[in-house]
Chains A and B, each alone.
Chain A
């Protein structure tokens, strides 16, 4: 008797700098087939040659760039899910504008979304031989005509990155159905089981004497006491004072530093130096210890916030993560260029922390 299992083929796009594998681990534990890609071109190449059910991407990473999203959307017509916490609704709105409609801040939200995603390939559990059959039950998914014409060639470095990333997958399925079919033909039998081997319970047996156990117990107790005492007494390891500045953003999104529509030369050539700011409003009431806001000005502008210079990207974009004091906060931005133009913007916000 065969029982159908809702197993999805998932491609997860995230930058190498992001070491958070939580989503992939949870998906694999749920039985889904996950391929992680960190390099841009292999990712787009695989999307062209493979038919995943779902694409995940981390909007804070390089894949959050508008151009990348456009390319993902062009090469893939299934659901694209932005994973992780998005620090601001404006970013969500920008992503939605780019065609991303599903957001999963947590693994449970992701699993809930995936329950409603139809699979293109059904894996049948076969009780008789304890193997998993690989049967395509749907035709090749509808795709735009670009698939047939747009063949990206992988460089050697890209191919290496691709192979490294895919080889890291435990018993990952073939990247494409073609490969799967070829593999089946070559082996002359069904694909091997895709289930991960279950680990039995184990115990570490070491030749321990009584004083060993006593010492281990004492060390454990001391560690617990220290761990409890540090937060309550404000102790710091090595007694070194560490600066604890509140942040509103975990990392600065590339989506904001490389805006889709930077200011044009005409906009920069007026009488006043443009200084456009989003994410903060005058007279805002903020129940956080920090506020993040961003904007555009000239790429060569000298920008300060309350006297502190701010980095402006080559697109003229900037992101400011401003720690707030409890109560009144006066925020003043000044942008100047060497042509002698200066623009001033100020905000008064109250933080209720």
Chain B
């Protein structure tokens, strides 16, 4: 070893030591903060605020009981969109987050608050685009309401046209009330996607299901377009009619390629005129009239579901007609006429006119407070977050003597959103706590597909191997390529065992 090599090695070693020391220092300095911030065990909290916070204390009713949360300057309050601030918290507000215990206190670490039963500002909107101007779409929803939304995508990426049936996720701007479309999908996109999926390597049963859904979607789109013509302004009618013809042609072609019958439109209304081979229908007895051709082999279904004849279709009766859509040269052709009851008079529907909120669910906890507070019940609300209510001396309890965990109840809240005006015990928990479960028969599945291979041991149906144990298919020999339906069970080894052949 010469001296130069020795020097180089010495320098390298020193360099490595230096780097190691620097790395160690960095690790120590950075982890020091972490160690200093290390806290006691964090405990999640899901509950209902019993009152507005006072003096930094927030009383929260949870399934574990009432918790006195201490809110400090270190408590992180989530102030994102959709949440309420600490100053907005009141009795009934939803409280979610975590805390830790220190010196017999529950110190809130991170919390988020929501109004009780706060409606999400996002919803799905389904309807026909009746007007399109740049990013603004006017959508006629299924209940006839016209809604204006603004799509976030650029107009060139927007797949809609006037006449498109869309489902869109929209967000309501809390300040302006405007609706922003965060995303949308058109019926024609969906039908194209399903059509493409049928060509994938999917099972035969699933392909059949996709075809049915594709046909239904096409029928719904044409029906909605047809119905839109009743509501739309005259100047837009021409565009919608053109869209109707275009979609009808496209869908019929797509379905025909898949050996599916053409889409049917549903036309509902009052029978104004009945002649041989023709009925005239108008929605609610007035407005645009539909001339529907009735062929001799039309099926008729009476109000009670039984079969009838065209003679049973009476003038001034209400019908729902499934018909081949009209084309440029022909009127709709009825395939099925369903007699339906007369629609109810406007104004007698709806039953929710009360202003007080209700909570329906099962009581999971009855927390008896101290002498200064009333008992609180915490309810497992099947349809949403847990609820809680204070039982005051004025609370009217019906259907039972005392409130206990396990009872299904419907609670009507007072104006403050927390105290209960009334509690109706819907049912008692009569179920044994540890019911004896008797094993039922193994579940059976119906598999439809094409036979790929056959042997004495089993059959490969699409890409699933089905084992033959007791049921021999040789009585009616199976052939490769045959479409067939099997009933199978999953045995204890996890195999599909054929128990029936249809």
Contact = CB atoms under 8 A, between A and B. Distances in A.
- B interface, over-half SS: mixed
Interface residues of B, number: 77
Contact of A338 (B5, B78, B220, B462): B220
Given A299-B197, A338-B190, A328 B97 contact: yes
- A interface, over-half SS: mixed
Given A228-B23, A338-B126, A73 B183 contact: no
A25 B19 CA distance: 34
Given A67-B463, A336-B126, A350-B97, A307 B182 contact: yes
Interface in B455-476: 455-458, 460, 462-465, 467
Contacts of A224: 19
B167 A338 contact: yes
Contact of A340 (B82, B142, B386, B453): B142
Contacts, number: 190
B389 to A, nearest CB: 18
A296 to B, nearest CB: 12
26 contacts: A71-B465, A96-B494, A98-B494, A99-B493, A149-B457, A210-B4, A217-B8, A232-B30, A265-B209, A282-B385, A300-B214, A302-B167, A304-B122, A304-B183, A307-B169, A314-B197, A327-B98, A327-B110, A330-B114, A334-B122, A337-B167, A339-B216, A340-B126, A342-B124, A348-B94, A348-B385
Nearest to B142: A340
Nearest to A344: B120
Interface in B97-135: 97-98, 110-112, 114, 120, 122-124, 126
A283 interface: yes
Contacts of B122: 304, 306-307, 332, 334
Interface residues of A, number: 66
Contact of B457 (A74, A304, A328, A339): A74
A228 B457 CA distance: 61
A327 B112 contact: yes
In the A-B complex, list the 4 residue pairs whose CB atoms are closest, starting with the nearest.
Answer: A146-B457, A99-B494, A328-B112, A314-B197
Contacts of A306: 122
B114 A308 contact: no
A237 interface: no
A113 interface: no
B98 A352 contact: yes
Contact of A152 (B22, B94, B453): B453
A13 interface: no
Contact of A145 (B44, B111, B456): B456
Given A152-B453, A338-B187, A314 B210 contact: yes
A214 interface: yes
Interface string A31-68: 00000000000000000000000000000000001111
A314 B490 CA distance: 24
Interface in B1-50: 4-5, 8, 11-12, 15-16, 19, 22-23, 26, 30, 42, 44-46
A66 B494 CA distance: 10
B374 interface: no
A302 B185 contact: yes
B8 A213 contact: yes
Interface in A213-229: 213-214, 217, 221, 224-225, 228
B496 interface: yes
B76 interface: yes
Given A73-B495, A342-B123, 5 more contacts: A144-B457, A217-B8, A302-B190, A334-B169, A346-B385
A192 interface: no
Nearest to A100: B494
Contacts of B495: 70, 73-74, 99
B8 A334 contact: no
Nearest to A336: B124
A265 B167 contact: no
Contacts of B96: 327-328, 330, 348, 350
Contact of A70 (B11, B114, B464): B464
B194 interface: yes
A338 B166 CA distance: 8
A299 B209 contact: yes
A350 B457 contact: no
Q: Among A70, A265, A282, A328, which residue has the most Cβ atoms of chain B within 10 A?
A: A328
Contacts of A109: none
Contact of B190 (A96, A264, A300): A300
B143 to A, nearest CB: 9
A302 B124 contact: yes
Contacts of A327: 76, 78, 96-98, 110-112
A315 interface: yes
A73 B171 contact: no
Nearest to B44: A350
Contacts of A314: 194, 197, 200, 202, 206, 210
Q: Among A149, A298, A307, A342, which residue has the most Cβ atoms of chain B within 10 A?
A: A307
B221 interface: yes
A224 B22 CA distance: 11
Contacts of A309: 169, 183, 185
